[in-house]
Amino acid sequence: MFIAKEPSTITITKVAKNSSVSELNYNNKMNVFPNPAINNITVSMDRTVANIADINIFDITGKLMMNVSGVNASEKNIELSNLNKGIYIVNVVLSNGAKASSRLIVE
């Protein structure tokens, strides 16, 4: 029997059956700045991966707060005046169908 001397955290990630290893690595190719943000953000994707097709911003309950579609570029500026202060998830759908996500704090 193993007994931990200090509390530890276990993170469990569910991966869809048809996910590929390359899709799992796209999060580190995405950048959202500034973060924390006040009025606007820039969402960018490494140009060696694929262009951004769509950007979705969800609140922490999973409610879709903003959708920017038809981007077709490696970078997009987004105005945040319609978002309240809080924590959001920025999900990006790439032109090759892969997805990436990042946490965003709006102050």
Q: pLDDT value at position 17? A: 52
DSSP-derived secondary structure letter, 3: -
Collect all residues with Cβ–Cβ distance below 8 Å to 50 and sequence separation of at least 6. 94, 95, 96, 98
Instruction: Express each pLDDT in 4-34 by its tens digit.
Output: 455 444 444 445 555 544 445 688 889 999 9
Q: What is the pLDDT of residue 48?
A: 84
Give the number of other CB atoms < 10 A from CB of residue 37: 18
**What pLDDT sits at residue 49?**
85
Q: Is the peptide bond before 36 cis (omega within 30 degrees of 0)?
A: yes
Q: What pLDDT does 9 receive? A: 45
pTM strictly above 0.85: no
Query: Pick from 85, 95, 96: which is nearest to 104 by CA?
Result: 85
Q: What is the rounded distance in angstroms from the CA atom of residue 97 to the CA atom of residue 16?
A: 14
Which residues, given as ranges, of the chain have pLDDT below 50?
1-4, 7-14, 20-23
